[in-house]
Structure 1
Amino acid sequence: MSMAVAGLIAGMALGFAGYFGGFGAFLLVAALGAIGFVAGRFLDGDLEPGDLFRPRERDGRRR
């Protein structure tokens, strides 16, 4: 599945949640989608747990 299709599906899910459930449901679906995205990146091996908590390196050097 391409990223465009995944974005389309996520946008439609957020739209339906906002229309039928109100703003609170919209925020809940957005938050759960973000958590699912990060969990999926961890499971695929694209993201390490330390990547979220340590500062980023600039120009390849640590300061």
Structure 2
Amino acid sequence: MSRAALGLLVGMALAFAGWFGGFGAFLLVASLGAAGAAVGRLIDTGVDWREFLSPGDRRTR
């Protein structure tokens, strides 16, 4: 699926949430979509989630 088609689907989902559910539903859909996008990006790049969430800097010197 192209990024343009994906953007169209996300925009339509946000529009429907805002129209039928009000502003609160719009914000809920937008925040869950952003969280899903972040998790998907972590999975695509192969970053270990424990390494991503751990406090401190683990770079070797």
Partner of 1:12: 12
Q: Whose helix proportion is higher, 1 or 2?
A: 2
Cα RMSD, aligned residues only: 2.1
Identical amino acids, percent of aligned pairs: 59
Give the alignment's TM-score, normalised by structure 1. Answer: 0.73
Distance change (3 Å), C-alpha of 1:34 and 1:47: farther
Deviating runs (4+, > 3 A) in structure 1? none
Give the alignment's TM-score, normalised by structure 2. Answer: 0.75
Give the unaligned 5+ runs of structure 1. 55-63
Give the unaligned 5+ runs of structure 2. none
The alignment of Structure 1 onto Structure 2 pairs a total of residues equal to 52
